[in-house]
Amino acid sequence: MLDSVLFYPLLFLVGIVAGTIDSIAGGGGLITLPSLLAIGLPPHIALGTNKFQSTFGSFTASFYYYKHGQVDLKDSIPGVLYTLLGTVIGTFCVQLISKVFLSYLIPILLICIILYTLFTPKLGDLDRKPKLSRKPFYIIFGLALGFYDGFFGPGTGSFWAMAFVIGLGFNLTKATGYTKVMNFTSNITSLLVFTIGGNVVLSAGIVMGVGEIIGAKIGSGLVIRKGAKFIRPVFIFIVTLTILKILYDRFI
């Protein structure tokens, strides 16, 4: 499928960079998907391969956060189940419904997230009192963000992180850990759909995936050691890039 083996070292490096960024603040797809398109993969195959390689990074980051006590897997099971259901519905609906409305709405919501983060400087420093109990939280956000990731995708990690911080009162480090579990759930679910359709290049995905594993360990380690003060500026930067990417795709 790839024209030259020279692409593989490049894809490996892209995987490392994307895995590092994604495990800190999400947004690794801003790097990986354009890279796969740039080497000549058709859009549907690039999307499927991107989901494949990203599962390596999201799984590694999830495991790292779990290993360091930032994620309670038993506690996250309801979120995983509702996210899985939402992703299946979203992946089905994307074939039937136009994305135009979301391409206008999502940048506005992401700008609100940036402003809220900037004007709440202590946001996510410490655990706070939750505004929702676990069950309704996971039903609402699992279905909604699972659907969104299957249907459209950009900014999903940012929405999850803010949902955990505001809705359940998590500190930003813990929220990032739980976000990666939910990201892995939606990634693996979408991957199954793309694989059934034959839209995955295994060689490219594996090479990038190995890079993702390395990057995810680097990024997760930085988050565990440095905490919310380190995550916040990276988070704002990635959300800003996501907004610009969506606006560029829509209007340029």
Rounded to whole angstroms, the Cα distance separating 164 from 173 reads 10
**Neighbouring C-beta atoms of residue 87, cutoff 10 Å:** 29
- Amino acid, res. 227: G
DSSP classification of residue 193: H
pLDDT value for 142: 96
Q: Would you say the C-alpha torsion 115, 117, 121, 123 has a positive or negative sign?
A: positive
Contacts 24+ apart (CB under 8 A), 6-9: 7/39, 7/204, 8/203, 8/204, 8/207
pLDDT value for 236: 92
Rounded to whole angstroms, the Cα distance separating 38 from 58 reads 23
pLDDT value for 250: 80
User: Per-residue confidence of the chain (252 residues) as pLDDT tens digits?
Assistant: 566 678 899 999 999 999 999 999 888 988 998 999 889 888 888 888 999 999 999 999 999 999 999 999 999 999 999 999 999 898 778 767 777 787 788 889 899 998 988 888 787 888 899 999 999 999 999 999 999 888 878 789 889 999 999 999 999 999 999 999 999 999 999 888 888 888 899 999 999 999 999 999 999 999 999 988 899 999 999 999 999 988 888 887
pLDDT value for 20: 96
Closest CA to 108 of 179, 159, 63: 159
Helix, coil or strand: residue 123: coil
pLDDT value for 101: 80
Distances (CA, A) of 146 to 15, 41, 124, 207: 24, 26, 23, 27
**Neighbouring C-beta atoms of residue 118, cutoff 10 Å:** 11
Rounded to whole angstroms, the Cα distance separating 101 from 151 reads 12
Q: HSE-up of 18 (CA within 13 Å, CB side)?
A: 30
Global pTM exceeds 0.95: no
